[in-house]
Amino acid sequence: MHHRQLEAPQAIRTIFFDAGYTLLRPAPSVIEVCQTVCRGYDVLLDREQLATQLTTAEAYFREAGTLEQQTWASEEAITRFWIGYYTALLRPFIAEENDPLLTQCVSAIIDTFRQHTSWELFPDVLPTLQALQGRGFTLGIISDWESSLCAIVHGLDLGSYFDCLIISAVTRHAKPEYQLYETALQRANAIADYAIHIGDSYLHDVLGARSVGITPLLIDRPGRLRTEDVDCLLIRDLREVLDLLEIPLTAALARQQ
C-alpha cells in the first residue's frame, strides 16, 4: 500500500502518538454530547441545525486556532477558546436576553468533555498498542490539550501502555513548536533519529515532529489523501504502523485468546 517505508524500522525505539482523532474521538459525538448536556437545562437542540452550525463553528475556530498558536499553551487560553467555540455553536438556539443560560450550557459542555466518559478509543488502538507492548519500545503521547487529558487517558485504561504523556497546557508549549517535541524526547529519554510520531494533522504533527528530527507518520482515517499528496509516510489505520515496523499483528491477537 505504501510507496515509502521506514528507512530502518529495526532502529526505532520510541513511538509517540497524538491523542485527539489519532487515539480517541468524542463519544457518542460532539453533537450528541451537546444535545444531552443542554437537555438538562431544558434547551432542545435540533440535530440538523446543530450539524450545520457545527460546520460554521469548526471553520471559524480552526482558523482562529491556527492563527493563535499559543492557545494550546495554557489552561486559561484553552478554556477561553472552548467558551468562544461553544458560545458560537449554541448562540442561535438561545435568546439574547438569556445569556446566563447560554453561559451555563457552555460551561457544562466544557466540563463534560473533561471526563473520560465523553471519549472513546478508535477500534484499531488497543490491537496496535498490545502488539507493540513488551517489544522494548518507549511509548508516549504528545497532545495539544488541557491537563484533563491525564484523567481521560487513565479513564480509558490507556495509562499502562504509555511511558510518558506530554501535554501542551502543562509544558506551556503547543504544536508545532519544536520545544514541545524536544520535551517529549527528553521525557522519553529518546533520540530523534530512532523515534516516530503519529498524528492526524500535517501542520501540527508532521511539521512539529520534523522540526526536531523525529520521523512523522500522518494518519488519515477518513482516507482523503493519497500517498502522492504528501511528503511523509501516510497510513489510514494504526495497525499499519506494525507493518512499517515489521511487527506481526498476530502477536497481539494470540495474546487476546
158-161 long-range Cβ contacts below 8 angstroms, 24+ apart? 158/23, 158/121, 158/125, 158/129, 161/129, 161/132, 161/133
Higher pLDDT, 63 or 198: 198
What pLDDT was estimated at residue 70? Answer: 76
pLDDT band at 257; cut points 50, 70, 90: very low
Can you list the alpha helix ranges (DSSP code H) found in 133-191? 149-155, 168-171, 178-187
Region of poorest pLDDT, from 42-56, 84-98, 240-254? 240-254
Using DSSP's 3-state secondary structure scheme, residue 216 falls into strand
Summarised one tens digit per residue, pLDDT across range 106-148 is 999 999 999 999 999 999 999 999 999 999 999 999 999 999 9
pTM: predicted TM-score of the whole model, two decimal places: 0.92
pLDDT band at 251; cut points 50, 70, 90: low
Mean pLDDT value of segment 5-18: 94
Judged against a pLDDT cut of 80, whether residue 242 lies above it is answered with yes
pLDDT band at 2; cut points 50, 70, 90: very low
